[in-house]
Structure 1
Amino acid sequence: MKHLLPTEAWGLLQQRRDEPLETAPLFVDVRMEIESLYVGRPPGVVNIPWYEYPDLMPDPARFVRQVEEESGDKARTVLLICRSGKRTVEAGQALEAVGFTDVVNILHGFEGELDEHFKRSTLNGWRKEGLPWEQM
């Protein structure tokens, strides 16, 4: 699994944006749908939760199956983002375990790590870097 900073991941997405849809990187938000919608998300991301409310328990088989359906090819680049970059490591490992060969974890995720005041988006992360995002 590769680990890229948000700015590096955005650069990769921009570099490959003119590729046909079936070969362009698949950008997956592994957060719960409510997080993705209300907290915000990068444009063009596909939401495939690693776990969902109310269970809050990962379902790797379901996750892998949904990514397989979206990607169409295990050689396709899959970029993973979550809140802080933790869930994506487990999700990426599950993808690699079934044969995905180009999995990218976006370090620090969308909101980044907690600062000394227990707030996110102040130290690092997609939003802190000023990269494009949208909110419901």
Structure 2
Amino acid sequence: MSEDIPNVQPKDVWEALKTDPSAKLVDVRTTPEWSFVGQPDMSSIGKAPVRIQWQVYPGMEVEADFIHKLRVEGVEPEDKVYFLCRSGVRSTAAAKLAAQHGYTQVFNIEDGFEGPKDEQGHRGTVAGWKRSGLPWSQG
């Protein structure tokens, strides 16, 4: 796969997760983001997001064992892997690294979990997983 990682709309990711047993969502945000901002709730389709920090909080260093952790979590190189972060930057970087390590079907979830900031500087009001009306939970 080239360095160009395809972007997929959140609702299209949800459909893929529902219909394809090999489709996995990898949430690369930080532990505080999972706890305080929320995370995709895939319980209605019998799945759960794979949570692996791309940058480890609080120092925000890139996780050196990211690929190893993908494999430990059961994410296989032939799976369809949809990467998610807040806005799409970290998830694109994670998808590129996965592609460099033999993952052949990697995708970035367009606009991430919260999407870009609105005119007031707030996230979650313009685009992203939450704004798309997809299931999510907090806490």
Q: TM-score by structure 2 length? A: 0.87
Which of 75, 81, 86 lines up with 2:84 in the alignment?
81
Match of 2:44 in 1: none
Shift of 1:33: 1.2
- Give the 4+ runs in structure 1 shifted more than 4 A: none
- Between the aligned partners of 2:114 and 2:136, the Cα distance in structure 1 is 11
Match of 1:128 in 2: 131
Task: Describe how 1:13-52 pairs up with structure 2 within 5 A.
Answer: 13-16=17-20, 19=21, 24-43=22-41, 44-52=48-56
Q: Is the 8 A contact 1:115 1:122 kept in 2?
A: yes
Q: Is the 8 A contact 2:9 2:109 kept in 1?
A: yes
- Between the aligned partners of 1:72 and 1:29, the Cα distance in structure 2 is 12
Identity, in percent, stands at 36
CA RMSD of aligned residues (A): 1.2
Higher strand share: 2
Gaps of 5+ in 2: 42-47
The CA deviation string for residues 32-78 of structure 1, in whole angstroms up to 9 with x for no partner, is 0110122100022121000111211212x411110122235211111
Match of 1:63 in 2: 66
Gaps of 5+ in 1: none
Which is further off, 62-71 or 116-125? 62-71
Q: Decide whether aligned partners of structure 1 residues 72 and 128 sit closer, same or farther in structure 2, where only a CA change above 3 A counts.
A: closer
* Structure 1 counterpart SS, 2:18: helix
> How many residues in Structure 1 have an aligned counterpart in Structure 2?
129
Q: TM-score by structure 1 length? A: 0.89
Q: Is the 8 A contact 2:24 2:75 kept in 1?
A: no
